[in-house]
Amino acid sequence: EAQVTQNPRYLITVTGKKLTVTCSQNMNHEYMSWYRQDPGLGLRQIYYSMNVEVTDKGDVPEGYKVSRKEKRNFPLILESPSPNQTSLYFCASSSAERLDNEQFFGPGTRLTVL
Amino acid sequence: AQTVTQSQPEMSVQEAETVTLSCTYDTSESDYYLFWYKQPPSRQMILVIRQEAYKQQNATENRFSVNFQKAAKSFSLKISDSQLGDAAMYFCASRPGGYQKVTFGTGTKLQVIP
């Protein structure tokens, strides 16, 4: 089954404790992105990647890091999480072969930083 | 820079009736794509419909259609014969052609009344 998976689905952590949210897709997509969703703000893009070793900042990159060492994986790293990073996070992927680059979303990760 | 504005935080519609959700956008790109996504209570992001800016014909997908007014930078979503399963948050999004920087609106919560 073609899908984007994220782990963990739920995470409660404390300020300053480094964490990684994993994202993996099995569709051989070139493009991958991370978003955060907050009430009243919609989805905002954190980082995106056009291919392996190619990443760029979205609209809200502060406090986040990403890496793209393999085509299928695009982990989101919070080196020192803070309460304002409490949010719902989505990973998405899309194919370079499609002009419209339809995005396929993961199920979301609910992160709470205390 | 792109902006996407959804001015209706909440809307309601009677089952079997028609409802229109508004979206306006701004972009300096001549080539871009517009999307409507549905997010039910499960939080999964589901693509409803897409529109290529270079196509004058309005996109349709079964009961869903758009009214794309390029000069006015308007991209509204019409849902005909509304069903209970249409109740969800709807997000409008814009992406320039050839890039992966996606901008979402703040969303419209649609309630369907039986």
Cβ pair A42:B91 closer than 8 A = yes
Cβ–Cβ contact A61 with B under 8 A: no
* Residue A11 and residue A110 in contact, taking contact as beta carbons nearer than 8 Å: yes
Rounded average pLDDT over B51-70: 92
Residues in A closer than 8 angstroms to B45, CB to CB, are 43, 90, 92, 103, 105
pLDDT attached to residue B30: 85
Residues in B closer than 8 angstroms to A31, CB to CB, are 100
Report the residue from B47, B95, B105 with minimal CB separation from A42. Answer: B105
pLDDT in tens, B1-55: 789 999 999 999 999 999 999 999 999 888 899 999 999 999 999 999 999 998 8
Reply yes or no on whether the pLDDT at A99 is more than 90.
Answer: no
Q: In terms of CA atoms, which chain A residue is nearest residue B32?
A: A100
Residues in A closer than 8 angstroms to B100, CB to CB, are 31, 33, 48-50, 56, 94, 101
Confidence bin at A13 (pLDDT 50/70/90): very high
Mean per-residue pLDDT of chain B: 94
Confidence bin at A14 (pLDDT 50/70/90): very high
| Cβ pairs bridging A and B (under 8 Å) | 55
Rounded average pLDDT over A28-55: 94
Sorted by sequence, the CB contacts under 8 Å of residue B100 that are 6+ apart come out as: A31, A33, A48, A49, A50, A56, A94, A101
pLDDT attached to residue A77: 98
Q: Which residue has the higher pLDDT, B97 or A40?
A: A40
pLDDT attached to residue A97: 77
Q: How far apart are the C-alpha atoms of B48 and B77, rounded to whole Å? A: 10
Among candidate residues A52, A48, A42, the one with its CA nearest the CA of residue A64: A48
Confidence bin at A98 (pLDDT 50/70/90): confident
Rounded average pLDDT over A51-72: 95
Confidence bin at B89 (pLDDT 50/70/90): very high
Cβ pair A105:B44 closer than 8 A = yes
